[in-house]
Chains A and B, each alone.
Chain A
């Protein structure tokens, strides 16, 4: 026998009787109760898993851009007490891989004119895709550093000066040519956080560093065995889509 079976299931007669009753009450002539069958579709080998990104090299950034984004991520999420910061956790790699994909190309956004300024609540109304915003923003940042801060790129500045510049961007006070520094800062902060907490499969959150830091248990969805154990820490370490070290190396 082959293994393909016609799926069947769910009986809806009970549901339909009430509808049928309503028909009779209102005098419709052809209200026929019937059993409707047809289970949820199921087929073997129908999973389309996300492809893990490669951890080496840049796909979108130039080496200079990559170094700047790594430095920015490391100031937004600085390493401390042996915990990795944004750079070591792979946030820049995460952003790089996002920018070559549908996010970078703004595939999900409406990108046609008119481009009005809008209220802050309406979010960015930019005509530039995230990939273009990075390209332009990083160029403006680099020019700002080289022209005004002693000819060095952002990554080469001392940490204190990097922090000062980022703070100025956040307040909208840094004078970038052709780029809104506050909008660019917000984009960087948003993406750095995503990179720190997204599944490691996407290049950031390396070794689940972000999850370990905040005690997030990872890709689990059932806590029946623990839900009744009040005031006790959850005993299992975080798990990613691709597992955790205890699973035997891949």
Chain B
């Protein structure tokens, strides 16, 4: 009798203890998943401005047309509440939808494939806890023939290497953590790598174009890459959006605001360690254009009258307020898209808790002609130690028209 009661008691205790234990585990998993979802910047594409988090419907622009990011809330009818963990993992690691259809790489599964299964399951656990929103989304807004999902089969065969990140045993733990975050969840290459005509990555991290922006080279190239940046500078940039030399704008401001500024310092450090170790392609020898060219002379006058008030006489800028143009990769990159749109349209930099002011650059499209903008950016690209090709009035005109659409 006593014996039986004792056993009963034990079972009773176990019955009570088990859920409490499971809940702790769930809490840890969910918290881990929350941090990973931030590191993956899932919210950026899956939340239109002003909408409930992850409720879907934001258009992801691709050169082939718009694709809407679907609803990721646990709503069973229109979100992913009814998905199994397996289906979720398969979507992100293989780019395969719930019904086995091929997903478009607008969901950067080419990067997310590197994320471990354990991490993905934690992310799923977190997504299960967000507020369910009923919001049906039809992602596929592409014109024929790009809307044919089965064609993605051939794309994958050409450009997709599935597989979780394999640590490099030669490298320390933080390097490997950094590589995992940069190449995997952070999907930095999806903007910072050039795309071939079919939208596949080429020339990893040597810079890429998107939506009339140029995301610069993140290799160690000193002129157009991160060669001159210190590890601490990179950490500051990712955490605050501002450094003594630069400011995050446009798509990069979103990356900083939603993603990197909310990541733990140790992860930022790991990313900086890895980024600083990406070797550059052999540097292209660049010599500055002669200062007595007509466009350089006009550019000098234009710069003194329009830009020097903020970026200062020799392009040195003001730390954390006005980016330096001397030594800037944005200014010297072969592809002048970011430089041109900055001058034409202006831009507001990232606002973070650490640097909340978010200084903005004024627009000059109303004030300067195509030839004048070409002259002033050509001057900035070839002064104070900078060197890059000349920009023509035609390039400015093309960008001016592109920004109008």
Taking a contact as CB atoms closer than 8 A, the residue among B310, B358, B366, B368 that contacts A8 in the complex is: B358
Contact B298 A248 (CB under 8 A): yes
Cβ of B357 under 8 Å from chain A? yes
Cβ of B84 under 8 Å from chain A? no
Cβ of A39 under 8 Å from chain B? yes
Contact B351 A239 (CB under 8 A): no
Q: Mark A239-250, 1 if CB is under 8 A from B, else 0.
A: 101111011101
Residue of B nearest to A241 (CB): B367
Cβ of A15 under 8 Å from chain B? no
Cα A163 to Cα B217 in complex, Å, equals: 70
Contacts A1-B61, A236-B304; is A8 near B312 (CB within 8 Å)? no
Neighbouring A residues of B251 by C-beta, 8 Å: 1, 3
Cα A51 to Cα B122 in complex, Å, equals: 59
Q: Mark B44-82, 1 if CB is under 8 A from A, else 0.
A: 110001100000001111000000000000000000000
Neighbouring A residues of B297 by C-beta, 8 Å: 246
Neighbouring A residues of B305 by C-beta, 8 Å: 219-220, 236, 239, 243-244, 247
Cα A49 to Cα B368 in complex, Å, equals: 12
Cα A6 to Cα B47 in complex, Å, equals: 12
Contacts A39-B351, A246-B297, A248-B375; is A5 near B308 (CB within 8 Å)? no
Taking a contact as CB atoms closer than 8 A, the residue among A39, A45, A244, A247 that contacts B345 in the complex is: A45
Cα A241 to Cα B313 in complex, Å, equals: 20
Number of A-B pairs whose CB atoms are under 8 Å?
Answer: 106
Cβ of A110 under 8 Å from chain B? no
Cβ of B224 under 8 Å from chain A? no
Contact B61 A44 (CB under 8 A): no
Q: Which of B294-324 contact A (CB under 8 A)?
A: 294-295, 297-298, 301-302, 304-305, 308-310, 312-313
Cβ of B369 under 8 Å from chain A? yes
Residue of A nearest to B369 (CB): A250
Q: Mark B369-401, 1 if CB is under 8 A from A, else 0.
A: 101100100000000000000000000000000
Contact B49 A5 (CB under 8 A): yes
Contact A11 B372 (CB under 8 A): no
Residue of B nearest to A246 (CB): B301
Contact B60 A1 (CB under 8 A): yes
Contact A40 B375 (CB under 8 A): no
Taking a contact as CB atoms closer than 8 A, the residue among A8, A46, A47, A243 that contacts B372 in the complex is: A243
Neighbouring A residues of B360 by C-beta, 8 Å: 40, 42
Q: Give the most central of B49, B50, B358: most A CB within 10 Å.
A: B358
Neighbouring B residues of A49 by C-beta, 8 Å: 366-367
Neighbouring B residues of A1 by C-beta, 8 Å: 44-45, 58, 60-61, 211, 251, 254
Q: Which of A68-76, A96-104, A126-134, A221-229 contacts B (4 or more CB under 8 A)?
A: A221-229
Min CB distance, A17 to chain B, in Å? 16
Neighbouring A residues of B313 by C-beta, 8 Å: 224-225
Interface size of A as a range: 35 or more
Cα A222 to Cα B347 in complex, Å, equals: 21
Q: How many residues of chain B have a CB within 8 Å of chain A? A: 48
Cβ of B90 under 8 Å from chain A? no
Contact B298 A246 (CB under 8 A): yes
Neighbouring B residues of A6 by C-beta, 8 Å: 49-50
Min CB distance, A80 to chain B, in Å? 29
Cα A1 to Cα B59 in complex, Å, equals: 6
Cβ of A10 under 8 Å from chain B? yes
Cβ of A114 under 8 Å from chain B? no
Neighbouring A residues of B211 by C-beta, 8 Å: 1, 3
Contacts A5-B257, A8-B358, A39-B358; is A220 near B49 (CB within 8 Å)? no
Contacts A44-B363, A250-B369; is A225 near B308 (CB within 8 Å)? yes
Cβ of A9 under 8 Å from chain B? yes
Cβ of A4 under 8 Å from chain B? yes
Cβ of A215 under 8 Å from chain B? no
Q: Mark B241-252, 1 if CB is under 8 A from A, else 0.
A: 000000000110
Cβ of B9 under 8 Å from chain A? no
Neighbouring A residues of B295 by C-beta, 8 Å: 248
Contacts A1-B58, A3-B250; is A244 near B366 (CB within 8 Å)? no
Residue of B nearest to A2 (CB): B59
Cβ of A78 under 8 Å from chain B? no
Contacts A220-B309, A243-B305; is A2 near B357 (CB within 8 Å)? no
Cβ of B334 under 8 Å from chain A? no
Cα A37 to Cα B257 in complex, Å, equals: 13
The 7 closest A-B pairs by CB, nearest first: A222-B309, A246-B301, A9-B351, A225-B313, A8-B351, A42-B348, A248-B298
Could you list 6 further interchain pairs (A-B, Cβ under 8 angstroms) beyond the known A6-B49, A247-B368? Answer: A5-B49, A10-B357, A37-B356, A222-B310, A224-B313, A243-B372
- Show 14 residue pairs from A and B whose CB-CB distance is below 8 angstroms, ordered by the A residue: A1-B58, A1-B251, A1-B254, A3-B211, A5-B348, A8-B356, A10-B356, A39-B348, A39-B356, A44-B363, A47-B366, A247-B302, A247-B305, A248-B371
Chain B residues near A (Cβ < 8 Å): 44-45, 49-50, 58-61, 211, 250-251, 253-254, 257, 294-295, 297-298, 301-302, 304-305, 308-310, 312-313, 345-348, 351, 353, 356-358, 360, 362-363, 365-369, 371-372, 375, 403
